[in-house]
Amino acid sequence: MPIAVVVDYEPSWPVRAQRLLDEVRTALTPLARSSAFGYEHIGSTAVPELAAKPIIDLQVQMPSLPPPDELAELLAPTGFVPAHGARPDSPGVHRDIPRPGDPTDAALYEKRLLHDPERAAILHIRRADSPFAQFVVLFRDWLRNNPDQADAYQETKRRLARQHAGDPDYDDYTRSKSAFLDETHDEMRAWARTQASRPHLT
């Protein structure tokens, strides 16, 4: 199977994601001394009907990042182990790249990345105040609520998957997707502002 394979949406993805998140939440109980922990199913598998690489992306936000060894020990029973990336410069392994207009303080973008190779899942551990953590949730919700853009993103991913089918890893495929994010940045942020300004019923 090519490394950068994109498959049709699977209705089982959200179910798998929730099961994995429940395991992670239980494993991280010793760290959860604050209500600032957040658990999310992110990435393309979190958008209904969107084609995706068949890998579940999860995110945990916490007030501060624990030492890598401590985190690895806590999560070992779940099957998640530290991910080191295919190359020294693999994107998104040790830190995220700030999006246009976001704060540039490097400390905000430090992260921990783990994966479960047996169950094809990736776990992103980010600070609660990470702008990139907020961005990935925004991107997911924007795609969920804008089918035309979800279709455009799907076509972009299928094209890039064909282009990078013979690559030895996902890195260039991942970097190539950033062009779509840059092209839609302003529209996405504008949509986010409209959502923030909507009244919330209580």
Question: Could you give the percent of the chain with pLDDT greater than 90?
Answer: 81
DSSP string over 133-199:
HHHHHHHHHHHHH-HHHHHHHHHHHHHHHHHTTT-SSSHHHHHHTHHHHHHHHHHHHHHHHHHHHS-
Q: Does residue 106 belong to any structural domain of this protein? A: yes
What is the pTM assigned to this prediction?
0.92
pLDDT at 90: 87
CA 24 to CA 32: how far, in whole Å? 11
For residue 52, the model assigns a pLDDT of 96
Q: Residue 7 falls within a domain, yes or no?
A: no
- Structure confidence at residue 35 as a pLDDT band (50, 70, 90): low
Q: What is the pLDDT of residue 85?
A: 86
Residue 8 inside a domain? The answer is no
In a domain, 24, yes or no: yes
Convert the pLDDT of each residue in 53-108 to its tens digit.
Answer: 999 999 999 999 999 999 999 999 999 999 998 888 888 999 999 999 999 999 99
The residue range of the domain holding 55 is 13-197
Average pLDDT of the chain, as a whole number: 93
**Cβ distance 51 to 6 under 8 Å?**
yes
Task: Tell whether the model's pLDDT for residue 202 goes beyond 50.
Answer: no
15 vs 91, residue with greater confidence: 15
The answer on pLDDT for 200 being more than 70 is no
Q: Dihedral through CA 47, CA 104, CA 171, CA 69, nearest 10?
A: -90
pLDDT of residue 1: 42
Q: How far is CA 191 from CA 118, 185, 197, in A?
A: 37, 10, 10
Q: At what angle do helices 178-197 and 131-145 cross, to 10 degrees?
A: 80
Residue with tokens 């760290």, as numbered in its chain: 31
Q: How many domains does the chain have?
A: 1
- Is residue 148 one of the residues assigned to a domain? yes
Is 3 a domain residue? Answer: no
Percentage of the chain lying above the pLDDT 70 cut: 95
**Do the domain assignments include residue 202?**
no
Per-residue pLDDT, 34: 64
Choice between 32 and 46, residue whose per-residue pLDDT is larger: 46
Q: Is residue 1 part of a domain?
A: no
Contacts of 91 (CB under 8 A, 6+ apart): 97, 171, 174, 175
Per-residue pLDDT band for 119 (boundaries 50, 70, 90) equals very high
The tens digit of pLDDT for each residue in 147-186 reads: 999 999 999 999 999 999 888 888 889 989 999 999 999 9
Residue 107 to residues 65, 94, 121, 127, Cα–Cα distance (Å): 10, 11, 25, 9
CATH of the domain at 128: 3.30.460.10
